[in-house]
Amino acid sequence: MSGIIDKAQETFSRVKADASKKVQDFMENDKVKRMNREKVDPSASSRFTTNTGMGVSNTDVWLKVAGEKQGPMLLQDHHGREKVCDICMCLT
């Protein structure tokens, strides 16, 4: 039984080392370095706005048919529809 546990621990250690090497290689990638240079963290005073400039306090909540937690999202939600349209425009 201890042989199986030793083998599992050895395998886990090897996989952990491989994963950390892959993460390190990814972070040293030229594209990731360029993206990190352009990244700007939002400040406490910044906020999300719609295309018309109206402030939006929460972009993750949509109007739904059956209440807050379940049900399909409604297209009558102006902010949600605008969010989807913006994503579609980025993909084209």
pLDDT of 50 reads: 77
Average of per-residue pLDDT across 3-22: 90
Judged by DSSP in three states, 21 sits in helix
Report yes or no on whether pTM surpasses 0.95: no
pLDDT in tens, 65-87: 877 677 888 878 877 888 778 77
pLDDT of 15 reads: 93
pLDDT in tens, 32-64: 888 888 777 767 676 777 777 777 777 777 788
What ranges do the domains of the chain cover?
1-39, 45-92
| Contact (Cβ atoms closer than 8 angstroms) between residue 61 and residue 48 | no
State how far the Cα of 5 lies from the Cα of 8, in Å rounded to an integer: 5
